[in-house]
Structure 1
Amino acid sequence: MNCPKKLDTIWGIFMGRKFKYSYDFKVRCVEDVLESNRSVNSVAQENNFEKTSLRRWISFYKKHGKEGLLPRKNQKYSIDFKQHVLQTIESKSLSLRDACVEFNIPNMCVIIQWQKNCKGQGILGLKEKPKGRPKSMNFKRAKKKTSKPLTR
């Protein structure tokens, strides 16, 4: 189905899909704002996405360069790193957005989850939990009753 870009965006929102943007697209949009002196609003409207995403990309780009725009998926963080992030947020009164930029964490929800877990369970709440469904049954084969041969 060939839909115009605007209709594609509306259909995607309606269907509940998340849109992913390529690394090259992010770099081009950020450089449009920073080097071509275009406004965040105009670049976002021209490319049919939210200006808050572009602002976040610009923050990551300023702090970490082009590497800050690379896609990161399912990254695992150590307990020490998580604890350091949470302590820095408290001591420096950082917002979640600023903490994400500072520590190169792609999403604020990650930090929110760490805060919830730490508040409820302490340091043990920051420990990595196993993913997926637990095994529901432990199968043990029935042992033979005797090792003697069968007779008639």
Structure 2
Amino acid sequence: MKYNFQIKLMAVRHYLDGRDGYKLTARQYQVPASSLRAWTAAYRLHGQAALLAKTSITYPAHFRAHVADVVLREQLSMRTAAARFNISDYKTVGRWVQEATKATAPAKKERKHMAQKAQKPAKQPEEMTPAELLEEVRYLRAERAYHEKLDALMKAKAEQKKKSTPSGH
């Protein structure tokens, strides 16, 4: 459900004035507590402009990639990233991160090929041709990037679960 600017602003200011916690403020203004949290985070970073209705924005590919990179590198929750970059829906950030990790993960056929290759007795680097060395470097880089992204995603998911547990506000 969409809420107008005035409702968002009044609810955020009410919460920030310290009168009530998230749950009571949300109940009073008849908005979801999760929305109030998101509006408050965005308001703290971007002021009133963050509460204005955003018409359908198409974000450029380089911006989406940058946001996904920051999320993975800094292990941000999707909500925190949405607030930081003033993106109205945290699920949008989640889709961008998912797209970025799919783009860096090797394709299924490549994975199968790489797994078979890893089982072969490895040649010593001195015995390898330049082409074989390049292939191994590419494989190792892809494998490292995949594991780093996977670790970052798992940490972000754990962080998101930790943040979504009721905190009494």
Question: What is the RMSD computed on CA atoms of the aligned residues?
Answer: 1.7
Whole-angstrom distance in 2 between the partners of 1:84 and 1:95: 15
Distance change in 2, residues 1:49/1:102 (3 Å): same
Code of the residue aligned with 1:55 in structure 2: it is R
Q: What per-residue deviation string (whole Å, max 9, x for no partner) do you get for residues 81-136 of structure 1?
A: 111111111111111111101111111221222233334456xxxxxxxxxxxxxx
TM-score (norm: length of structure 2) = 0.56
User: How many residues of Structure 1 are paired with residues of Structure 2 in the alignment?
Assistant: 104
- Equivalent residue for 1:7? none
Matches within 5 A, 1:109-148: 109-121=91-103
Match of 1:35 among 3, 13, 17: 17
Q: What per-residue deviation string (whole Å, max 9, x for no partner) do you get for residues 44-93 of structure 1?
A: 11222221111111111111100111111311111111111111111111
Q: Identity of paired residues, percent? A: 26
Distance change in 2, residues 1:93/1:121 (3 Å): closer
Structure (1 or 2) with the larger CA radius of gyration:
1
Tell me, which stretches of 5 or more residues in structure 1 are unaligned?
1-18, 123-152
- Post-superposition shift, 1:35? 2.2
Worse overlay, 62-71 or 72-81: 72-81
Tell me, which stretches of 5 or more residues in structure 2 are unaligned?
105-169
- Post-superposition shift, 1:20? 1.3
- Equivalent residue for 1:64? 46
Distance change in 2, residues 1:23/1:116 (3 Å): same
Instruction: Work out whether 1:55 is the aligned partner of 2:37.
Output: yes
Q: Which has the higher contact order (CA 8 A, sep 6+)?
A: 2
**Which has the larger helix fraction?**
2
